[in-house]
Structure 1
Amino acid sequence: MSEHTDVEETTLTHRVVLLGVAELSGRDDVPAHAGEVVSLCIDNLANVDGDVLGRLSEADVARALNELEDAGLVERADVGDTSAVGKGRPAYVLPMGADALCDAFDDDDRLAALVDHVEAVCE
């Protein structure tokens, strides 16, 4: 992906990860450490229609976060974390609003339940 890739060009895995970061943002739990994003994305698979995604691993989410950062769709935040938990792990924020992201994915039927869930959290 090139810098500033359009959100419409993302894969299903990328979309689930973006919605995970959006949900954490709606909970005011940002910047979100990669481990938090992984855990939430795995939990959110129940809200993805059918088995289109299969099993989502920690490596899949980490790879997607790196690709989304390269594309400019998430930003790495400097958290200066000194605690043992999360130390050295990257943390991410959305450069766009969660509402705009949900609107962009509104026509993806595979994500309808997940988009509704994220919109409810972000209200």
Structure 2
Amino acid sequence: MEETLRSARSFEQFVLLSVVELSVADETPAHSYDVTQAAKAHLDDLSRDTFGGVERQEVISALRSLADDELLAKDQTTSATGKGRPAYGLAVDADAVLDELADAETVSPYVETLRTEA
């Protein structure tokens, strides 16, 4: 897991931390919309405007990549209209993710915020 987290792009790390936040709040499995909202709420936690914003399509791509790397577990939920929608939860320990990303230059302020809120 350590090597996978270190080699992940900064945006993927940021999205993963958003899933950690939702997981700690017992709000997973989460849909891409929920993860996008959590991420947008924490853009100000970053030391600089690293990503130029958070677009849902980019979040979806990052969620898929993180699931492929086995950092997230992909689930299938059914919407009110009966359509299947992918949802994601952590496949690794939340504290391990926080420990591993605590010194990552881009996302470390988000890690600190999550630890303070916990």
TM-score bucket of the superposed structures, by smaller chain = 0.7 to 0.9
Point out where structure 1 has 5 or more consecutive residues left out of the alignment: none
Q: 1:83 aligns with which of 68, 74, 80?
A: 80
Per the alignment, residue 48 of structure 1 pairs with: 46
Which has more strand, going by share of residues?
Answer: 2
AA aligned to 1:83 is A
1:39-72 Cα shifts (integer Å, max 9, x gaps) = 1112211111112222221111011111111111
CA–CA separation in structure 1 for the residues paired with 2:83 and 2:45: 30
Runs of 4+ aligned structure 1 residues displaced above 4 Å come to none
**Could you say what the CA RMSD is over the residues aligned between the two structures, in angstroms?**
2.0
AA aligned to 1:98 is A
Q: TM-score, normalised by structure 1?
A: 0.84
CA–CA separation in structure 1 for the residues paired with 2:56 and 2:110: 19
Identity across the alignment (%)? 30
When the two structures are aligned, how many residues end up with a matched partner? 117
Larger RCO, structures 1/2 (Cα 8 Å, 6+ apart) = 1
Q: TM-score, normalised by structure 2?
A: 0.87
Q: 2:4 aligns with which of 6, 24, 28?
A: 6
